[in-house]
A and B are shown apart, each in its own frame.
Chain A
């Protein structure tokens, strides 16, 4: 198969089978790396780091990167569109279904369960970010390895920043981007 259609097809498969968020694409990316040699396992590790430091999910970033490395700028676009295509098709079908059936009693009851589930997922995601951000990684691994509890577990400047941000956002109705930008500056100044 010529390169561009093959890029599209491989990332289409990844997009189709990875359910539930960016990290779900990882096993498929490792498999693709073994099968095609388009990128190495080290490239994937680098991309995880880059994805944590840029907007955009790891799957999107990896498809752009792999496409670019193998077939230039056109490759970057083709691979990313391949990744996005399955979810575009599936969501359009679901949205069509929902707009026709959202008065249906069973659909409404399903949402009775889906709503708290959604909130639970969002809370868990927040806790996950808090764990790596507000706690000190070394002290945490020492604690889980059976070491003693110590105050150095808490990353104080980060916790302080979180409290200030929380209060500021209650008072000021600014756009979240303003707070994100300010936090980046504080992070650089305090060397968080």
Chain B
């Protein structure tokens, strides 16, 4: 029971400060759940985001459900999801009831211009930390490049590829041409051995 309550509270806090969309949540999750509580790892978080991207629903919610489930099965999933929803629900109820022109207030706009700068920086740092374990060879770098370019350029193209489709395509590509982690390690050590031989 105490663990469920902890899950609820942890995600309640994250839901209250999760400005700027699902991906902005990653640094918050890292600090609270990886560094502080040790409930999950940065690599697992990254995998949850990939799955959350190509399943229905809001990414932030999907990730909350995932972590909750892995911690305490179904009750954990419900506790984490409800915790994440509580802050936004209360806030919107207050805004709907009292503050009709909330987003037009100059002070709110300035504050959020500042917050967005910080969100940018947080996202960049999350990417830097995950890079080495995600982009491990030339092939995975190509996957990164193709998806990044398609994703960014879809704004300027007459047609756009839905992000979910890109992620699913990357998964299928991985099944066809990718390596498991064990295979990757084996290939890497073989390459090292070969190189040593050539040096001699």
Binding site for B on A (CB under 8 A): 15-22, 25, 46, 49-50, 52-57, 59-61, 64-65, 68-69, 73, 76-77, 80-81, 83-84, 86-88, 90-92, 94-96, 98-99, 105-106, 108-130, 132-134, 158, 161-162, 165-166, 169, 175-177, 179-180, 182-188, 190-192
Contacts and interface: CB of A to CB of B under 8 A. Distances in A.
B171 A114 contact: yes
B89 A80 contact: yes
B116 A54 contact: no
Interface in B105-119: 107-119
B187 interface: no
A135 B73 CA distance: 44
Given A165-B121, A176-B27, A187 B113 contact: yes
Contacts of A119: 46, 127, 130-131, 134-135, 144
B151 A176 contact: no
B192 to A, nearest CB: 20
A121 B53 contact: yes
B57 A117 contact: no
Contacts of B21: 21-22, 57, 125
Given A20-B164, A111-B171, A125-B21, 11 more contacts: A18-B57, A53-B108, A54-B88, A87-B61, A91-B62, A110-B175, A111-B178, A121-B23, A122-B130, A125-B123, A166-B124
Interface residues of B, number: 104
Contacts of B23: 121-122, 125-126
Given A80-B89, A122-B127, A133-B116, A55 B65 contact: no
Contacts of A186: 114
A99 B70 contact: yes
A127 B124 CA distance: 9
Interface of B is mostly: helix
Contacts of A59: 58
Interface string B119-152: 1111111110011011100001101111110011
Contacts of B77: 88, 91-92, 95
B167 A86 contact: no
A167 to B, nearest CB: 10
Contacts of A183: 114-115, 117-118
A122 B65 contact: no
A88 B143 CA distance: 29
Contacts of B18: 55-56
